[in-house]
């Protein structure tokens, strides 16, 4: 799967669906070496991600417990950041996803320089920022959609970008490819003199020598949110940084309205089709916990997720026999395809003799997302309403009426015959 190397640390977390448990590290190493086997840089990248995953229960070093500031938090769904209005602009507190009693840092976003700024913040940014370096497609894609892409001067893994506008900017030298997360071009970053680096935080607070760039290091923990609207709401953080809060708020408000309207349609459905997810590797299956991002999507789409009662936000390892015993008669099976060629029932049948035993395989009810052709990692986080509509299209197509009449899924489709 050579193109899986397009995944950043943050995007690997998305592919895994949630943080892992430390007891299963060895099996995860085997699984993701398979995904990234085609490129040594990606393997190095992987090892950074695995270090991150191993210690998901650990807090960043050097951070003391904090008390959340009193006041009105502007964020409604995101749990890894709180934002308050201040006389000078905004104060943002990024909360440690692995220990919510700890902070990854407070930041002042300053609009009015005549007002005093809090002295206890980790970083101060004048907004709108003039330039940033984006470590994840979930960041630069928002700048692009907000019409503020000129503020992005560098990105990671540019050679794997699928968006045509960003590819053109890279070709024209208006945006620079600064390498991989495991081996970023620090010298190039210093030359670009960005106001901020939007990086994916690690459990131990290690910023990989990025302090030498002189930029404000802002931990962008969007990928650790466990709900679709929680992840999407980080759009509003980008809006603040880009100085277009109203535009970003209006965009998110529309997403929120559409998502909640769709989930309300499914809330009282009498029949909830059963669904399970993902594929096996090396005799082991990693299923998303019942409190994970994908489990929330399934529930909101009116489906009965096989492992809905599992209390974990993490992926839980099981052997194929256990999966078969519980999911053999499930109505649907959802999978992700990172290969550049289509997934078929023939190819799945050759991959494992267990797969044809599932009813979803026999009845051709396998739902797949081709991440390369859909731009899944560049766009889907900002379109949870469309992700939800995709699943409703399969689970309850009769509910898609009015503005959704005739809706054709954007990210998912049934596996080809």
Query: Is residue 273 located within the same domain as residue 403?
Result: yes
Query: Is residue 139 located within the same domain as residue 7?
Result: no
Can you give the pLDDT at residue 70? 54
- pLDDT tens digit string along 258-312? 999 999 999 999 999 999 999 987 778 899 999 999 999 999 999 999 999 999 8
Residue 377 and residue 380: Cα distance in Å, rounded?
Answer: 6
**9 inside domain:** yes
**189 inside domain:** yes
Domain boundary among 256, 287, 315: 256
Residue 102 and residue 98: Cα distance in Å, rounded?
Answer: 9
Query: Is residue 220 located within the same domain as residue 359?
Result: no
**179 inside domain:** yes
| pTM for the structure as a whole | 0.84
**321 inside domain:** yes
Phi-psi sector, 89: left (phi>0), alpha (psi -120 to 50), beta: left
Query: Is residue 9 located within the same domain as residue 140?
Result: no
State the residue for tokens 């053999």. Answer: 328
CB atoms within 10 A of CB 147: 10
For 156, list phi and psi in degrees, rounded to 5.
Answer: -90, 155
Give DSSP secondary structure letters for 209-261. Answer: TGGGG-SEEEE--GGG-SSHHHHHTTHHHHHHHHT-HHHHHHHHHHHHHHHHH
Query: Is residue 285 located within the same domain as residue 319?
Result: yes
Query: Is residue 164 located within the same domain as residue 285?
Result: no
Query: Is residue 99 located within the same domain as residue 167?
Result: yes
Can you give the pLDDT at residue 31? 38
Query: Is residue 33 located within the same domain as residue 133?
Result: no
Q: Where are the beta strands (DSSP E) in 152-225?
A: 152-155, 176-177, 196-199, 216-219
Query: Is residue 163 located within the same domain as residue 289?
Result: no
**273 inside domain:** yes
Domain boundary among 37, 54, 71: 54
Helix (H) or strand (E) holding 334: strand 332-337
Residue 302 near residue 269, CB atoms below 8 Å: yes
Query: Is residue 308 located within the same domain as residue 228?
Result: no
Q: Give the residue numbers spanning the domain of 386.
A: 267-414
Return the structure tokens found at 82: 């709180």
Query: Is residue 168 located within the same domain as residue 201?
Result: yes
Cα of first residue to Cα of last residue in the chain, in angstroms, is 21
Can you give the pLDDT at residue 68? 52
Please choose, from the candidates 189, 240, 178, 235, the residue with its C-alpha nearest in 3D space to the C-alpha of residue 216.
189
The pairs formed by 123-128 with CB atoms below 8 angstroms and a separation of 24 or more are 123/196, 123/216, 123/217, 123/218, 124/216, 125/195, 125/196, 125/216, 125/218, 125/241, 126/195, 127/89, 127/90, 127/240, 127/241, 127/242, 127/243, 128/241, 128/242, 128/243, 128/244
- In sequence order, what are the residues at sequence separation of 6 or more whose Cβ sits closer than 8 angstroms to the Cβ of residue 403? none
Domain boundary among 256, 276, 311: 256
Can you give the pLDDT at residue 5? 41
Query: Is residue 85 located within the same domain as residue 131?
Result: yes
- pLDDT tens digit string along 103-125? 999 999 999 999 999 999 999 99
Which of the 8 DSSP states describes residue 341? S
pLDDT along the chain (417 residues), means of 10: 41 43 36 39 38 38 46 93 97 91 94 96 96 95 97 94 95 95 89 94 65 92 94 98 98 98 96 95 86 96 96 87 95 94 94 95 97 92 97 98 95 93
Can you give the pLDDT at residue 399? 97
**61 inside domain:** no
**71 inside domain:** no
Residue 283 and residue 206: Cα distance in Å, rounded?
Answer: 34
Residue 408's domain is classified under what CATH number?
3.40.50.1980
**65 inside domain:** no
Total structural domains in the chain?
3
Residue 106 and residue 320: Cα distance in Å, rounded?
Answer: 45
């Amino acid at each position: 799967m050579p193109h899986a190397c397009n995944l950043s640390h943050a995007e690997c977390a998305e592919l895994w669906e949630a943080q892992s448990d430390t007891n299963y590290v060895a099996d995860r190493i085997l699984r993701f070496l398979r995904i990234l086997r085609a490129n040594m840089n990606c393997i190095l990248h992987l090892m950074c991600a695995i270090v991150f995953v191993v210690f998901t229960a650990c807090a960043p070093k050097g951070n003391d417990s904090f008390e959340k500031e009193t006041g009105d938090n502007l964020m409604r769904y995101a749990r890894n950041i709180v934002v308050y209005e201040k006389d000078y602009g905004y104060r943002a507190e990024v909360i440690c996803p692995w220990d919510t009693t700890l902070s990854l840092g407070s930041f002042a976003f300053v609009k009015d320089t005549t007002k005093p700024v809090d002295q206890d913040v980790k970083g101060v940014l004048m907004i709108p920022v003039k330039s940033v370096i984006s470590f994840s497609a979930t960041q630069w894609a928002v700048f692009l959609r907000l019409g503020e892409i000129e503020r992005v001067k560098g990105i990671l893994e540019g050679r794997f970008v699928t968006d045509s506008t960003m590819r053109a900017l890279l070709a024209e030298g208006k945006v620079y490819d600064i390498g991989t997360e495991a081996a970023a071009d620090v010298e190039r970053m210093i030359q670009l003199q960005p106001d901020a680096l939007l990086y994916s935080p690690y459990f131990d607070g290690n910023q990989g020598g990025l302090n030498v760039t002189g930029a404000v290091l802002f931990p962008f923990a969007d990928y650790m949110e466990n709900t679709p609207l929680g992840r999407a709401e980080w759009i509003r953080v980008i809006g603040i940084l880009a100085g277009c809060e109203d535009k970003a708020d209006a965009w998110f408000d529309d997403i929120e309205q559409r998502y909640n309207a769709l989930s309300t349609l499914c809330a009282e459905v009498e029949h909830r089709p059963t669904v399970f997810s993902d594929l096996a590797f090396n005799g082991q299956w990693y299923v998303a916990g019942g409190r994970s991002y994908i489990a929330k999507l399934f529930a909101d789409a009116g489906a009965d997720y096989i492992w809905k009662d599992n209390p974990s936000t993490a992926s839980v390892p099981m052997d194929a026999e256990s999966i078969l015993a519980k999911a053999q008669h499930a109505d649907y099976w959802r999978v992700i395809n990172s290969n550049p060629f289509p997934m078929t029932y023939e190819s799945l049948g050759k991959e494992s003799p267990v797969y044809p035993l599932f009813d979803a395989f026999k009845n051709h009810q396998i739902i797949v997302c081709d991440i390369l052709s859909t731009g899944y990692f560049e766009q889907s986080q900002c379109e949870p309403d469309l992700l939800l509509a995709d699943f409703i299209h399969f689970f309850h197509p009769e509910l898609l009426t009015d503005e959704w009449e005739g809706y054709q899924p954007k990210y998912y489709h049934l596996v080809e015959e």
